Amino acid sequence: MSTIVQNPKAKSFETRLFINGKFVEASDGGKFDLISPGTGEKVVEVSEATEEDTNTAVAAAKAAFPAWSALSPQEKGVYFKKLAVLIRESHAELAELEALSMGRPVSAYFESFVAAQTLDHYSETGYDIMGASSLNQKGYVTMTMRQPYGVAAAIIPWNVPVGFLINKTAAALMAGNTVVAKSSEKAPLTSAKVATLVEKAGFPPGVFNIISGHGPVSGSVLSHHMDVRVLSFAGSSKTGRLIQEAAAKSNLKSVLLELGGKSPAIVFSDCDIEKAVQKTAFSIQFNSGQTCMGNSRIYVHESIMDAFLEKFHKALTVASGDPLLPTVNHGPQVDVIQYNKIQNYIEEGKKVAKMTLGELPLGHENGFFIQPTVFVNTPEDAKIMKEEIFGPVVSVNTFSTEDEVVAKANDTEYGLYAAVFTKDISRAMRMAKRLEAGHVGVNCTSPTTFPDVPFGGYKSSGTGREGWKQSLDSFLETKAVLIAVDDE
């Protein structure tokens, strides 16, 4: 355990690796500094998993696999139910830890509810895992068996850490795999806290390992590991490509990738403009714009652009400040790297488009705060229209026809989420069909999504789908069994 520096409410919190049911320091004693984005000051030092630690975690998971995969769904479900209760009880602490590490305001913390709900769901789904049988072939009974891969790895980002940690690992574990999860170096504290709850819930040693560290070393070791048979990743498209490459160079492990986005929202003149404004503004401001599906490109019909913009600017009025304060709804960007990256994009934007909102000093000089920033009528080929900014920066452009806006909306390598605001149901359905995105919201936009709909991206926004109906499948092999039957 390490002593907390910043948070006066908590005395200490976990910062070690959870391997084979025990909390351990890194084998070489290595640690990295966690900086609070709200103040720019060091919060604490966190264990940095070495290659040896990562290999030890995979070996522990491999050793635990036979016994875990032999448990009945009901037996596995008991641990899930306990963990769900413990996560719900830890809501306030998880919210504070996230505010300290990645700056999400405690007022906007929701992940404990989503994670607990996901665990409750999977605790009851194990009996759905089954193959099929057929008498189609004369002289044979054929059947399929669904079986776990063995060791599954989860590599998660910092923007929704507990949500991703549980979403990926719950499905893998209920399918019978054992798991090594790596948290993000930018938000390691809630994953380490969840590790203490995994221990309390009594998961057998080695079944659910949680380590912390940077991409190189531990993330890279996991993605190259010959004993990791399936890997579920959420993060940037750049890292996703590296992971796909590592899988190809090692054991062709099955890889699920949830990557970046540049999501369009299209606002037609017949929509409820108040709702369109409120929802599109929330989408780009929520989590200080650090949402993979945030609508960072808004296309507004030319006839309502002025009215839309006036309301949109007002809707982007934020209460920024210390994310631990319940009155704050706009926290800092996650770290100085992300802050500088966003500022560079804003400078790029100013060269090519009119900035109509942004750059007010938010009054917290040492933190990494950025005011919601709006550019208007940005050229379609500008950098800020093509690249993921991952901050509270949005371009609002006009359009006149459906064909024109579909072409513009689809002119991106990303395809995570698209939104359409219109009261015309036929137009909405035409758009839903034509937009190249894993999600299409009609009269709603991101972050609206539900656990029982598939989540994932078209094009370079990812491969595979997650969701209550999809995820178990991603962690199961399929075996065909052919039984020759003597007729006599």
Q: Shortest approach of ligand NAD to residue 233 CB, angstroms? A: 7
Identity of the residue, 174 or 222, whose beta carbon is nearer to ligand NAD in the bound complex: 222
Angle between helix 73-89 and 161-174 (nearest 10): 170
Minimum Å distance from CB 214 to ligand NAD? 5
Q: Does 64 bind ligand NAD (CB under 6 A)?
A: no
Rg of the chain over Cα atoms, rounded to whole angstroms, equals 23
From 132-140, 182-190, 193-201, 378-386, span contacting ligand NAD (CB under 6 A): 182-190
In degrees to the nearest 10, what's the CA dihedral of 98, 104, 107, 113? -50
Q: Catalytic residue positions?
A: 258
Please, what is the Cα angle at 241 between 239 and 246, to 5 degrees? 95
Q: Which of 207, 167, 187 is nearest to 103 (CA)?
A: 187
Rounded to a whole number of angstroms, the minimum distance from the CB of residue 256 to ligand NAD is: 10
Do residues 411 and 246 make contact, with C-beta atoms less than 8 angstroms apart? no
Which of 168, 268, 188, 182 lies closest to 225 in space, CA to CA?
182
Helices 189-201 and 91-102: angle between axes, nearest 10 degrees: 150
Interface with ligand NAD by CB under 6 A: which range of 28-36, 255-263, 273-281, 398-406? 255-263
Binding mask 431-460 for ligand NAD (x = CB under 6 A): --------------------------x---
Residue 160 tokens read as 């929704």
- CA 126 – CA 168 distance, rounded (Å): 15
Angle between helices 161-174 and 91-102 (to 10 degrees): 120
For residue 146, what is the enclosing H or E element? Answer: strand 140-148
Among 66, 202, 216, 326, binds ligand NAD (CB under 6 A): 216
The residue from 73, 176, 219, 264 that contacts ligand NAD (CB under 6 A) is 219
**Nearest CB to ligand NAD, comparing residues 323 and 456:** 456
| 227 in contact with ligand NAD (CB under 6 A) | no
Residues touching ligand NAD, count (CB under 6 A): 31
Residue 281's contacts (CB-CB under 8 Å, 6 or more residues apart) are 312, 315, 316, 372
Site string for ligand NAD, 259-278 (x = CB under 6 A): xxx-----------------
**Quick one: which segment of 19-27, 87-95, 156-164, 265-273 binds ligand NAD (CB under 6 A)?**
156-164
When binding is defined by CB under 6 A, the residue of 81, 91, 121, 214 that contacts ligand NAD is 214
The three-class DSSP label of residue 166 is: helix
3 state SS of 206: coil
* Minimum CB–partner distance for residue 145 and ligand NAD (Å): 30
Footprint (CB under 6 A) of ligand NAD, residues 393-432: 416
Q: Measured from the CB of residue 232, what is the shortest distance to ligand NAD in angstroms?
A: 10
Tell me how crowded residue 270 is: count the other CB atoms within 10 A of its CB: 13
Told to check if 340 binds ligand NAD by CB under 6 A, we report no
Q: Which stretch binds ligand NAD (CB under 6 A): 216-224, 325-333, 359-367, 473-481?
A: 216-224
Chain residues in the site for ligand NAD (CB under 6 A)? 155-160, 182, 184-185, 214-216, 219-220, 223, 234-236, 239, 242-243, 258-261, 292, 388, 390, 416, 457, 462
